[in-house]
Structure 1
Amino acid sequence: MASILTNNSAMAALTTLRSISSNLESTQSRISSGMRVGSASDNAAYWSIATTMRSDNMALSSVQDALGLGAAKVDTAYSGMNSAIEVVKEIKAKLVAATEDGVDKTKIQQELNQLKDQLTSIASAASFSGENWLQADASGAVTKSVVASFVRADDGSVSVKKVDYALNTNNVLFDTSGGDLGILDKTYDVSAKSVTLSVNTDGVSEEVTVEAFTVDELIAQNATFTTNTVGSTTTQLADVGGVFYVKVDDTNWVQAVDVTGTGQEAVHDEAGVYYGVDTANAPPAAVAAPSSIADVDITGMNATQLNAMISGVDEALTEMTSAAASLGSVSARIDMQGEFVKKLSQSIEKGVGRLVDADMNEESTRLKALQTQQQLAIQALSIANSDSQNVLSLFR
């Protein structure tokens, strides 16, 4: 039926054209923005996930910056500790030199004063961004933290994880609290080396701690050594002027006594004389070093005090080496965490891209198809509109 009031063909063509124009507009928007999901109206679920993950990625970017700052602080502390170790080694060498008979201790003290000033300079300079981990409160109340990661849990809660490094008497060189608790400003209690052994007497084992000696110490005392092998067991005995010592492990010797007939298990058989551990030779009581490294003055020290001072410096070196190792491990962890955060950030960015980025190859193909459809729809609408003009020919 031909009607001049209602043109069904034109309305159908117009509806098709409107649909094609809408699709064309969406496709052009994706091409211009490069995004398949640019707003919540495109895909609410994907848009929500992408927005949240972009926010987390911005937080991870801040974490990377914080890790860089933390790494700089740790590296500064490590460099300072490493330099201080070399200086303390020099101090130890000077103290050993001072034990020689006839040496001028005043001249050595002048060198020690320069080395002490160098330690102070190193500790003061080991500062980054206003933080100094070598010259701080060593009372155990200070913990330094480095931001390590930003974590979103399964329940949606978020948290910031940190790497902690507690400043205490074992890693601070100078104590700023006034308690002289730092490695360089505290006085060490030193004692002879000891070793704990299990001694069997009449079938009953007992743990005993006795004084330990090194082979170098025995050689320095002009010891004579003998070796005895019974079966597959080889033992050694040292004689220092009638005082005997037996080797109990790779590095330690202990004082020995004749245990023939005493019930104590023998450690060494020397021509029918059985030697065992002298359980009465306990380590001597701890002796305080004459002073701290920061205040060392050898001009008035005797041989015993010098030896105690050398032992104190050696203990300080042990603590400094341990502290440097801890700083090194923290630095390595921060480096690994930095690499992980970088890779995690890239993974999140890729994941978000898979959700919301437009496939430009697909969109360009769709654009050409829609443009073709739009041209055909316009022609169809033009044809439909011309139908009403054909009615006029009926009245001619």
Structure 2
Amino acid sequence: MTNSLLTNTSAMIALQNLRTVNKGLSMVQEQISTGKKVANAKDNAAIFAISTVMQSDVKGFEAISQSLNLGAASVGVARGAAEKITELLVDMKGLIVAAQEDNIDRTKIQTDIGQLREQIDGIVESAQFNGLNFLKGTDSTDFLASLDRDAAGNVTASAITVDAFSLETAAGAAVVGLDTTGSTGVNAAGDAAAALIADTNDFEIHVDTGATFTEGDVWELRIDGRKINYTVAAGADHDDVAAGLESAINAAGLSGITVALAGGGAADAEVIISNNTGGAVGFEVTVTDGTGGGLANLNTLSVTTSADAAAALVSIEGLIQEAVDASAEFGSAQKRVEIQNEFVTNLTDALKTGIGALTDADLEAASARLQSLQVQQQLGIQALSIANSSPNSILGLFQ
């Protein structure tokens, strides 16, 4: 090999190797200090892009978990309140049963019923969490439940919807519409009727041909506690109302309950509901403008007379069922929210694990690599030193 003063090939090779070793040593030291093998886009653009998107999803799911925690707490308050209201209605039923006796002070029982109603009002008013009360009104609330990303990278949000279930006792305005002579157990105002119907007997709803029917009016029918609603449509007449009630009853699919229509036209439209269940069944129908709460009938619950006490016994069953339905609705919603929250938590952990697999450094391997590169660096420095001293041998040629 020819020696040259201008070009030291050995030194150039040694320097190149040393640069490579120093570069590798710098990368390993960065991995050890940051704990990541892909800390920025320069390290690995594809992996950095994937991990960044996944990290953004993790932040989103962590926020979703907070939303679901809020939802579970809100629904839990409503469920607890509905269950307590159910207990109070059961206590009220005990008072009404006692009022069926003739030798009883019904005035005092009526006072106790009024106190329980006021307690229910207090529970409904206080059953809120952060201002959200599911026992008032009929609006629904959406709780953010998930972020769904498709293959194209488009993200859509999905939510769990929880419906309010009114247990307010505020009564809607009564609306006439029941014929006061033909309907079974009808009151004098023609806005409500209730009766306990024995097996093989009928409960008759006579829709008054002379009544005015307003869009939005609600005919609420309870059969053995099962609530069936019909809302009056625009332009409906007595025949339309009767047909709507028949359709709603058939849609409920109650075993042993059949319904037929009679009359109509110039006469009252008759909805004849037959009880073939094998036992007595409570029937109740009320007509309001639809603004009342789910327990509005508590306002008219009376045991001051024997007839009132008998009607109250029919009504209380429907009110208890209303509260039971609310408890079940909120219980199911709370369970669903908690299940989704558990899933989101597990999904977040899985995403974090996936991000770590893509970007985290293998510190055991990095430690071993560091030791190797440090040795190579020392050897590279020695090799460069030797290569740099080789031109000195040219001086011997001129001595």
Q: Deviations over 1:4-35 (max 9, x none)?
A: 11111111111111111111101111111110
Residue in structure 2 matching 1:365, options 349, 355, 368:
368
Name the TM-score, length of structure 2 as normaliser: 0.70
Which residue identity lines up with residue 174 of structure 1 in the other structure?
Answer: E
Whole-Å separation in 1 of the counterparts to 2:103 and 2:354: 77
Where does residue 225 of structure 2 map in the other structure? none
Check the 8 A contact 2:106/2:305 in 1, yes or no: no
Check the 8 A contact 2:172/2:296 in 1, yes or no: no
Residue in structure 2 matching 1:315, options 310, 314, 318:
318
The reply on whether 1:324 has 2:318 as its aligned counterpart is no
Counterpart mapping for 1:317-396 below 5 A:
317-396=320-399
Gaps of 5+ in 2: 175-190, 204-254, 258-271, 276-281, 288-294
Which residue identity lines up with residue 302 of structure 2 in the other structure?
Answer: I
Deviation of residue 312 (structure 1)? 1.1
Which residue identity lines up with residue 16 of structure 2 in the other structure?
Answer: T
Whole-Å separation in 2 of the counterparts to 1:19 and 1:98: 98
Residue in structure 1 matching 2:299, options 274, 295, 307:
295
Check the 8 A contact 1:143/1:164 in 2, yes or no: yes
Deviation of residue 292 (structure 1)? 4.4
Whole-Å separation in 1 of the counterparts to 2:59 and 2:7: 58
Whole-Å separation in 2 of the counterparts to 1:172 and 1:96: 26
When residues 318 and 369 of structure 1 are mapped into structure 2, their CA distance, relative to the original with a 3 A threshold, is: same
When residues 287 and 143 of structure 1 are mapped into structure 2, their CA distance, relative to the original with a 3 A threshold, is: closer
Which residue identity lines up with residue 133 of structure 2 in the other structure?
Answer: N
When residues 137 and 85 of structure 1 are mapped into structure 2, their CA distance, relative to the original with a 3 A threshold, is: same
The secondary structure found in structure 1 opposite 2:6 is: coil
Residue in structure 2 matching 1:155, options 152, 156, 168:
152
Whole-Å separation in 1 of the counterparts to 2:133 and 2:83: 15
Whole-Å separation in 2 of the counterparts to 1:358 and 1:325: 50
**Matched residue count:** 305
Deviation of residue 189 (structure 1)? 5.0
Deviation of residue 304 (structure 1)? 2.5
When residues 2 and 292 of structure 1 are mapped into structure 2, their CA distance, relative to the original with a 3 A threshold, is: closer
Check the 8 A contact 2:95/2:109 in 1, yes or no: yes
Which residue identity lines up with residue 382 of structure 2 in the other structure?
Answer: Q
Deviation of residue 104 (structure 1)? 0.8
Q: Give the CA RMSD over aligned residues.
A: 2.9
Check the 8 A contact 1:189/1:312 in 2, yes or no: no
Whole-Å separation in 2 of the counterparts to 1:319 and 1:27: 68
Check the 8 A contact 2:169/2:299 in 1, yes or no: no
Whole-Å separation in 1 of the counterparts to 2:22 and 2:111: 92
When residues 109 and 41 of structure 1 are mapped into structure 2, their CA distance, relative to the original with a 3 A threshold, is: same
Check the 8 A contact 2:145/2:158 in 1, yes or no: yes
Name the TM-score, length of structure 1 as normaliser: 0.71
The reply on whether 1:115 has 2:112 as its aligned counterpart is no
Sequence identity of aligned pairs in percent? 34
Deviation of residue 350 (structure 1)? 0.4
Q: Deviations over 1:177-218 (max 9, x none)?
A: x7469xxxxx975444588xxxxxxxxxxxxx8559xxxxxx
Whole-Å separation in 2 of the counterparts to 1:33 and 1:287: 72
Counterpart mapping for 1:1-396 below 5 A:
1-134=2-135, 136-138=136-138, 142-167=139-164, 171-174=165-168, 179=172, 190-192=194-196, 211=202, 282=274, 288=286, 292-296=296-300, 298=302, 301-396=304-399
Whole-Å separation in 2 of the counterparts to 1:286 and 1:324: 22
Where does residue 279 of structure 2 map in the other structure? none
When residues 315 and 175 of structure 1 are mapped into structure 2, their CA distance, relative to the original with a 3 A threshold, is: closer
Deviation of residue 298 (structure 1)? 2.9
Question: Which structure is larger by alpha-carbon Rg, 1 or 2?
Answer: 1
More strand by share: 1
Whole-Å separation in 1 of the counterparts to 2:105 and 2:351: 69
Q: Deviations over 1:126-150 (max 9, x none)?
A: 010001111x224xxx111222222
When residues 392 and 194 of structure 1 are mapped into structure 2, their CA distance, relative to the original with a 3 A threshold, is: farther
When residues 159 and 354 of structure 1 are mapped into structure 2, their CA distance, relative to the original with a 3 A threshold, is: same
When residues 328 and 189 of structure 1 are mapped into structure 2, their CA distance, relative to the original with a 3 A threshold, is: farther
Q: Deviations over 1:93-140 (max 9, x none)?
A: 111111111211111122112111110111111010001111x224xx
Which residue identity lines up with residue 374 of structure 2 in the other structure?
Answer: Q
Check the 8 A contact 1:190/1:311 in 2, yes or no: yes
The secondary structure found in structure 1 opposite 2:299 is: coil
Deviation of residue 395 (structure 1)? 1.5
Deviation of residue 322 (structure 1)? 1.5
When residues 194 and 131 of structure 1 are mapped into structure 2, their CA distance, relative to the original with a 3 A threshold, is: farther
Which residue identity lines up with residue 111 of structure 1 in the other structure?
Answer: D
The secondary structure found in structure 2 opposite 1:163 is: strand
When residues 281 and 123 of structure 1 are mapped into structure 2, their CA distance, relative to the original with a 3 A threshold, is: closer
Check the 8 A contact 1:174/1:180 in 2, yes or no: no
When residues 8 and 96 of structure 1 are mapped into structure 2, their CA distance, relative to the original with a 3 A threshold, is: same
Whole-Å separation in 2 of the counterparts to 1:286 and 1:50: 62
